[in-house]
Amino acid sequence: MRMLLSRCANNNISASSTTTTTKKVLRGGGGKALSSSKRSSKRSLGGNFIVFASTKKKRIFIDGEAGTTGLQVRDRLEKRSGDIELIQLPDSLRKDAKAREEALNEADCAILCLPDAAAVEAVALVTNPNTVIIDASTAYRTNDEWTYGFPELSKEQREKVKTAKRISNPGCYPTGFIGLTKPLVENGFIPKGLRTTVNAVSGYTGGGKQLIAIYESPEAEPYGAYGFNLNHKHIPEMRKYAGLEHEPIFQPAVGSFAQGMLVSVPLFYDNMANVKSGKQLQECLKEWYKDSAFVSVREYNQTDDLERGAFLRADGLRDTNKLELSVFANDEKGTCLLVARLDNLGKGASGAAVQNLNLSLGLDETVGL
């Protein structure tokens, strides 16, 4: 269900629903109620206008819904029925500070799909202590006052997400890196002081509308590595939540496919603790994620499902909220490769945001995913 907010002639905000699932009551200037149904709650949207709505529905506002991640979040939420309403601003008001402020404070949960600076500005507009904010930018990911929105990080992390009012949505690359390394650090296989490297390739949608336009033109290169200043904005997040003492060397790249991602972490047995076989690492990961709805661990050295018997497709989990982990190893040489596969716009962005929304509002974690 969607709730559309628009300006009235007297510069107030009104609300109209695009469905009739739950009726609204609008009052203005002392006039009579137009209709009434399920008057179980009421909140002001500005001026004299009041919206009555069923308490069974959670109201969601996506600030920045016209962007790549915002559109994906909206598409996932619009397919749902019965448990949520979308608060939406007309195109003319999407950058109107007053309209955004009212929508942000009206929402049970606001998902920010904005650049870092704009996200900080949006957070400053929220005065309603009950509004849950999920920020998809990098602005708050290493801020200790915010809860990191990776429920699978630990059992404790899931509980933190459930009760948090400020949730930072993980980055796409860090989701893969942390998903692979955190359990191995916690179980002592990867020393906290180990210096690591991580290589990754993402679909071009991760670069937003500008990069999408480039890659959907005839001039686009088939593959491009970047991050040569060795200061990618995801690096601090990777180090912190993997539990490492040192930042990894990170080499990202973009491929000529829209959605998908592979994140690889190469390791030597000699640099780890008590590792005799890569099977130990695979079993550790499998135990860690055994109860997860979205994270799976492939069989040790599994190659029977590779494309043409050789290739692990980066886009194999497109349009899902899944994170798939693999351990490939050569015990004789004492080397292994940890590989994570995910959709950069799914578990790496919009899917994770919806998962965090579900948990924070007390809904089924898997709804809409």
Active site residues: 172
SS3 of the chain: helix, strand, coil, percent, to 5: 30, 25, 45
Return the closest-CA partner of residue 70 out of 13, 130, 118: 118
Are 238 and 247 contacting, i.e. CB atoms less than 8 angstroms apart?
A: yes
Q: Three-state SS across 263-296?
A: EEEEEEHHHCCCCCCHHHHHHHHHHHCCCCCCEE
Are 172 and 261 contacting, i.e. CB atoms less than 8 angstroms apart?
A: yes
Return the closest-CA partner of residue 131 out of 157, 160, 169, 103: 103
SS3 (DSSP) at 44 = strand
Axis crossing angle, helix 208-215 with helix 68-78, rounded to the nearest 10: 100
Helix (H), strand (E) at residue 155:
helix 155-163
DSSP-assigned states of every residue in 296-365:
EEPPTT--TTSBTTTB--TTTTTTS--EEEEEEEETTTTEEEEEEEE-TTIIIIIHHHHHHHHHHTT--T
SS3 (DSSP) at 151 = helix
- Residue 82 φ then ψ, to 5°: 95, -25
Instruction: Output the six-digit token pair for 152.
Output: 């699978």
Give the span between the Cα atoms of 178 and 213, in whole angstroms. 30
Instruction: Output the six-digit token pair for 85.
Output: 């309403």
Angle at 98 between CA 96 and CA 99, to 5 degrees: 65
